[in-house]
Structure 1
């Protein structure tokens, strides 16, 4: 390892398993001190316990690193505030926030209960907003005190949020919202020395190994395990380090050995009459514009 994050203090939410665990271990391997947040809940967000977070802390400490566990609910004001306080109390500073926590409650829209919509929105979208809010307040105060930080935030979106995913209306909407939040935060926080980016990872986790069982299965023998969550972490570590200076407000897909810069909404074919259209004119013009445009990528799971 290169010590890319020597001296940095990193918070990772949802770090007890899967991608979050891989990120926490990768940051520690590069010299970071890590706050490992996890509620220890089941795949659907029920239950809970401190075990998964503490196990990751124990792994980091056993490897010679420094880490502490945080078991607060980051989708609450108190939990998110204590996340930042834990980093400051344990290590005296905060440099990088990785928002990763989440769970699934998949249903087709006509079968999707309001509670399942609210729960997924809460953990993914509110669970990004509140830690970001409290970390940003700390960094803003540092900047105003003349100690401008070299801070980083990495948010976790999804291909479902970029393209849509059948049976995941709540999850896709939340992950799309995270992209919007990322763009706003990058613009607002740049003056305080904070860079904010998002990733859309694909990897084998509790949330994917059943839904996409065939795609996510580990290969046999010595073959490259393309869907191992550890494949995503190198990009996250780099984005969370000082080496990523100047990179902000961007979204990256990361899976296997591939990194892709995602290019989002931007103007395509356009027409301007200079006056109000009739409905018929608007329709005829729109069809011509669509014919000249790039077709959208298909929604995941669409036939």
Structure 2
């Protein structure tokens, strides 16, 4: 249904007149109301009421939330710093115990600032209440969480090629090799490092050139990318490498890996990574009270050689079997 042009003009004029009247009314350019007050006085009272609400309610609540947020951040950073203490960074503990400590620590970390703000707000002596309530909770939170994070069994890998550059693809391959060792030899599960999305965020923030972005990336990495274990493999040539295991930033084991097969120009990095993966699994399991470990009758090097023999043929296979202390049978299988 169409509207006549005259009707549309009348509607627009009515809307414009109403709007102008509303503006004039709120600005005080109106007559006095029946009770003797002006509308401008009413709007002034509304503004004053809102100012009181902001001052008496929103501002205190905002300050309290800000204090809680800062306390959460401070406690989390202190807990991460505890993992670097010499007596804690290489602590031998059961995995289950570490998981329980992390659960308790995160719970205390979340509750401590909230309890502190609430108790301090209603206490007569704020400092005494803060000292009695907040201090023990804070120590308990950072202590339990710090130990729990330090004993976490999460692993990351870094592979450095012969040209001195880190190879991301080979690093991922190294993690996959360690996972295979856990699933096939130890019948267990390995925790990998943080998600790819987090790593990409940190990389992009660092490349942005912004100091604030880099600082935020550092905080995120400290709080959420807690990976105590690092397998670093430095490829020396086509048949040898150096594997280093780090826990909470400190090297706890280092081995030179030599396949003793092929020449220095050969491309055998996958075999070297498989060799290093067994070393990494052995080092990790030895640092946990509930670690599975390999068969005591053979060391980790024998396990590594046995695994390499599975993917080799001919003389190379016999070479690895001999190093593992195993003799090949006519059927192609091996025995001790």
Shorter-chain TM band = under 0.3
- Identify the structure with bigger relative contact order (alpha carbons < 8 Å, sequence gap 6+): 1
Q: Provide TM-score, normalisation by structure 1.
A: 0.22
TM-score by length of 2: 0.21
Greater helix share, 1 or 2?
2
- Largest Rg, 1 or 2: 2
